[in-house]
């Protein structure tokens, strides 16, 4: 499960592949005429900054199913448990009396 601020790292050969961020419709049809963004460097980091669906495909190999859908869910809710520790006062420790007869 991806959450906001997770990221994806793509490594590909720039002369043989590219990375296209697409709409759902373009992703389903491998339609390449109106990409959201095109990456060609061979090394691409995508930060998933919003909740929702992200669609990526290769412009050269989409028809061979070289594509990826990522769903970003909201961050998990904080724990319902308190974040501070509750402490109970304990009585002070009492030390056993020392014997005067064992003195050197």
pLDDT on residue 78:
65
Helix H segments across 9-94? 24-29
pLDDT on residue 13:
94
On whether the CB atoms of residues 12 and 52 are closer than 8 A, the answer is no
On whether the CB atoms of residues 58 and 12 are closer than 8 A, the answer is yes
pLDDT on residue 92:
59
Q: What is the pTM for the complete model shown?
A: 0.71
Residue partners of 31: CB distance under 8 A and separation at least 6? 22, 25
CA–centroid distance for 24 within its chain: 21
Cα–Cα dist 64/17, whole Å:
13
**What residues of the chain score a pLDDT lower than 50?**
104
């Amino acid at each position: 499960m991806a959450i906001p601020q997770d990221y994806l790292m793509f490594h590909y050969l720039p002369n043989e592949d590219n990375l296209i961020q697409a709409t759902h419709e373009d992703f389903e049809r491998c339609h390449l005429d109106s990409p959201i963004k095109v990456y060609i460097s061979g090394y691409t980091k995508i930060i998933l900054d919003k909740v929702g669906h992200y669609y990526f495909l290769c412009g050269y190999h989409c028809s061979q199913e070289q594509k990826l859908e990522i769903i970003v869910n909201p961050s998990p809710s904080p724990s319902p448990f308190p974040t501070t520790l509750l402490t109970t006062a304990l009585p002070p420790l009492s030390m056993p009396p020392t014997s005067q007869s064992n003195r050197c």
